[in-house]
Structure 1
């Protein structure tokens, strides 16, 4: 391993001219760049403490020798937020997201003697820079470098129903014209038929009026933790909804927003010492955008006890089945650990963190958000990046998180654009296929099953569209077949994921999910044009061949066929086309 820490050259690019001016080129004139130390955030460099945006790093290093029998990679412990990498003037790759270790193969770019490494970093706010070590490594060492401190630990054991979940996120205000619990309850049989077995209700509490955003305000500005938003109904309405859901085999979790409160929450008047304050002693918002809420201070033990009682109350009195915990990373993990122990005394629950911290899986949470998979799909579908981007993300997860960690998979939620608008109609379907078939627990949002394009505001009254045209029926049929197949498939819910090589790996992503004797094949074309691809006949497929033939069930076409092996391995896929197949 050749460590590249230490002195680098550095230059900020506030006008975003570096790419057009070829700052990454070999032998580029960098006499006006300044010397800095890596790793570290650039905020600690003089004159750059307030810089957000683009900055460039340069490092010249000597490679003593290169063994042509080996492969080499450049390894980054972490870059905040995104980056592009060039070696000797050649583009190596790009990465998005500040929380992951990552690497690029540089075997063909690396040369004996002097090499020039350039990294363009894009910081979206807060700390920025190459904040963890950088090194040139042999491929055999990559796995050791990627193994974080939690790799050797086990995630908490989750209930079987948690592992089997297909979660439907409900924004009650936008779910129907009336926007009530009764309207949600009325559709429980439909959701069951669709294949949903967990409903997540976005915040159900009264909404603050002081400093309110928009006409109706955000449900994430909570005025009273022990009451229900009267627009949604009564306590009995919620209890009835939960009972009906349980009778239909569906669990109900609710949003828990305890990092901050509304400005007119009684806690501000009764317990101002529970809030974060500035140097003038004034209660403040968590950040400059969330002006409608006030930040809570979890250094205060009385606040912790109060919030644990809030969590116990809704489970005990309303029989809910757990919580989706808003901005869980902003609340101390040790608080969540303590709260989970108290909830476990009442009943088994699901705890979903809107966060991505590996340590959250050890005691408190069953699930964390996999923003990284969403970002990978965005790069592949919207920008034409190689499907292997997804492999890199999933491999990083394996090394970073405790064994057995469950990740929430999604291509849409209330914080992201509608999938159909963001990915396009075909891209929305293929991305939904992936998030429902890779390891993890899938999520679907209000109206997504109809291919809805309505951007549902948190602050105004908008209602999701139930498109009953041929287009809407196509989306609905897709999700119904997908969810109900998943419900029957232990391979998709428990099985290992094994990549399959194809003749078009630059466009086609294929993998097996395997559990005991059940084998499921997923094949997806991530390109904007049709392809004919051939699967590599590996040992898994070879074992399924009988008398030179393969018997399989096509989930979306709902038909069983038996064909010769050479016919089966050849797939013709439309742009963003896909196959989900059960092999007998």
Structure 2
């Protein structure tokens, strides 16, 4: 280093250009593994709370009372749907959509006060859980004061008027213009305020792909400078994972499973999803796996309507395959109704077998390092079988743990064998607890829409 300094000084004195430092080959590979996740996301399971419908009271205080139950279920990251005051101009329904935000620093009085929300966050933290807020950066309510104080922060239609997001029927909102630096700074400052002052642990970004990626990437750096956060993008594109988001929606997985459940596709639909995920996405990308969420439940149908007899298979695969699982509030109670979106429609809570089943699936994930979230968990390795497009089978293994999973994704009884040897060994059956020996002669007779999950 001293020699380089002397050479540079001499070159300056003699008027000679100093030798250029060796340049990195522009084609040299870069680290494209994705964002650095917080350590607490290693084996995390997401749980979405629709505050309006989560309890009979529909408040943060009532939701706080349910936290010990959620802790016992085993979930880790609580995703609160938007908590902000809702616009009144062009409101939909009686209570409006929580995605029509009137004040980014405020709290919807329907749910309680800022102190109530802080109490909820503190109570979740005391139980070892994290809280992320649903954030709507793409648009605001028509009567958000920003539309008056900073009208240039909004997009315009061909007439020169504020416009809703094009091609959708989101008539209760108007779109921001992210070419405006002032808007970007305002939005980032507001989100950082919620992390600093309220203690939230990250955000779920509504229609994240409709907002420029460079905004999210800079925001992630600023948020991580405060504390490690978790960011979930409502989007299905790989580039959001490189420097901005920990997780994104597994829409294609959901759609593939729905087609299979309806008899419109065979397991090849899953091959397409998992092939693209492994070949084209960052190694650390978490894809959110779900059989329901607020949109699917309200607009497309409950998980019982969508998946029918294939529901258990979809639930199990969302937990033992690659991805970070989501439970939407009420699934553990076997909620069979489409919850109203713009009105009060509380969940009818009850004991249901799905609650205990979810608890067992979560416990399995946490006890099996191979099933942890990317990049800590293991890749799925497909195991060839003779099920003729009806059977999906794979292994995940690492750190002395292994899972062998087989799914009959059809309404037929099948008898299936496996050509590969990777799966051979001794296991314990997830459901029966029985010891199972698997070798080259093993064949499984499987009923319609059934699965075998074996671990060791």
Aligned residues between the structures: 419
Q: CA deviation at 1:527?
A: 0.8
5 Å-filtered alignment, 1:362-441, equals 362-416=242-296, 417-424=301-308, 426-441=309-324
Residue in structure 2 matched with residue 300 of structure 1 by the alignment: 180
Cα deviation, 1:310-345, whole Å, max 9, x if unaligned, reads 110110011110000000000000111111111111
Work out which of the residue numbers 205, 209, 213 in structure 1 matches 2:88: 209
Q: CA deviation at 1:534?
A: 2.4
Q: CA deviation at 1:563?
A: 4.6
Q: CA deviation at 1:536?
A: 3.4
Contact 1:151 1:403 in 2 (8 A): no
Contact 1:151 1:399 in 2 (8 A): no
Separation in 1, partners of 2:395, 2:152? 54
Q: CA deviation at 1:429?
A: 1.4
Cα deviation, 1:27-51, whole Å, max 9, x if unaligned, reads xxxxxxxxxxxxxxxxxxxxxxxxx
SS in 2 for 1:246: helix
Residue in structure 1 matched with residue 42 of structure 2 by the alignment: 163
SS in 2 for 1:485: helix
SS in 1 for 2:407: strand
Q: Which 4+ stretches in 1 moved above 6 angstroms? A: none
Contact 1:482 1:555 in 2 (8 A): no
**TM-score w.r.t. length of structure 1:** 0.69
SS in 2 for 1:383: coil
Cα deviation, 1:467-496, whole Å, max 9, x if unaligned, reads 33xxx2x21121111011111111111012
- Structure 1 unaligned residues grouped into runs of 5+: 1-149, 545-549
5 Å-filtered alignment, 1:96-175, equals 153-175=32-54
Q: CA deviation at 1:564?
A: 7.3
Contact 1:205 1:222 in 2 (8 A): yes
Work out which of the residue numbers 224, 228, 235 in structure 2 matches 1:344: 224
Separation in 2, partners of 1:197, 1:172? 17
Residue in structure 2 matched with residue 534 of structure 1 by the alignment: 417
Contact 1:163 1:406 in 2 (8 A): no
Residue in structure 2 matched with residue 499 of structure 1 by the alignment: 382
Contact 1:386 1:507 in 2 (8 A): yes
Q: CA deviation at 1:202?
A: 0.3
Cα deviation, 1:442-470, whole Å, max 9, x if unaligned, reads 111111122212111221111123233xx
Aligned alpha-carbon RMSD (Å): 1.8
SS in 1 for 2:79: strand
Work out which of the residue numbers 440, 443, 451 in structure 2 matches 1:570: 443
Work out which of the residue numbers 539, 546, 561 in structure 1 matches 2:435: 561
Separation in 2, partners of 1:279, 1:507? 52
Structure 1 564/581 Cα, relative in aligned 2: closer, same or farther at 3 Å? closer
Contact 1:412 1:444 in 2 (8 A): yes
Cα deviation, 1:220-256, whole Å, max 9, x if unaligned, reads 0011110111111111211111111112111110100
- Structure 2 unaligned residues grouped into runs of 5+: 1-28
**TM-score w.r.t. length of structure 2:** 0.88
Separation in 1, partners of 2:207, 2:30? 24
Higher strand share: 1
SS in 2 for 1:345: helix
Separation in 1, partners of 2:137, 2:251? 21
Contact 1:166 1:197 in 2 (8 A): yes
- 1:289 aligned onto 2:169: yes
Separation in 2, partners of 1:460, 1:172? 12
Q: CA deviation at 1:532?
A: 2.6
